[in-house]
Amino acid sequence: MSSKPAVTRPRTLKAKMQPAELDLGFRWGRLNSMLLAGAVLFLAAGYFSLAKGSITLSPTLLVTGYCVLIPAALLVRGNSPEAGE
């Protein structure tokens, strides 16, 4: 009647077996969402003015949307601790 003792893993071994969670430093917050929404509005206005025949306003709006607002929405870091991946 030999019963084997229950084998339990130490907590450190269990922690080592799980993949490490990496913080990539990317946080998405309200400011990022507002910048992206502004970019979408600029792009829509740019394409609308392009359809109307504007050759000065539409490129300005499109370049601002694509080259300024979308990268800004991706590069600005959120400040709130609950905002994350």
- Mean pLDDT, residues 25-37 taken together: 89
Angle formed at CA 6 by CA 3 and CA 11, multiple of 5 degrees: 165
What is the pLDDT at residue 56?
A: 96
- Mean pLDDT, residues 20-39 taken together: 84
- 10 Å Cβ neighbour count for 82? 7
Higher per-residue pLDDT: 10 or 19: 19
In the DSSP assignment, the letter for residue 4 is P
- Mean pLDDT, residues 3-20 taken together: 63
The contacts found for 82-85 with CB under 8 angstroms, 24 or more apart, are 83/27, 83/28, 83/29, 84/27, 84/28, 85/24, 85/26, 85/27, 85/28
Share of the chain above pLDDT 70, in %: 61
What is the pLDDT at residue 31?
A: 93
Enter the pTM of the model.
0.67
